[in-house]
Structure 1
């Protein structure tokens, strides 16, 4: 995972893992004071670049059905719906949307 810091303060962090050609973003969290400031976008771009450099071809993640902002962020980076996990989240109980990104052959991931 990665951490975004400024002046010793953690603005955001991510937890991710990869096995062979498949990676999973398990969490990408941004401090509430720094949401909508491009921090998640920067962190996600760094994660995807690191995955591509490591030979990852597919990236998966889950997001709450109600988290429209996160869904928009991921879709803007090429993630597409790959399924639903009913009642995946608790407090409150909510479905998870499974998103998938195919990295191989993406123009933005090719060396310049």
Structure 2
């Protein structure tokens, strides 16, 4: 389970949101399987933790260092599309090669 922890300049926790599932972060917008938050102001972290955090507590530097936001970027769809097209081309070429081999084998067997 992930926790989104928003905190102020003195590291005082303003809010905690429990998050499950796949999480993506784009600037001040956070999206996950069951919801999203847009327009987050100030500092926030997303950590993987079962520990209890509540508003008013202080978040320590060691907890802030565990922030996972940088690993939760949305997928680059243009890059994924290019990779998929390359894979399709590769598979089509293999399929054509297999077809040609089968035809050659058939011709050999039939004495053509």
Higher relative contact order (CA 8 A, sep 6+): 2
Q: Aligning the two structures, in what range does the TM-score lie when normalised by the shorter sequence?
A: under 0.3
- The structure whose residues are more often strand, as a share, is 1
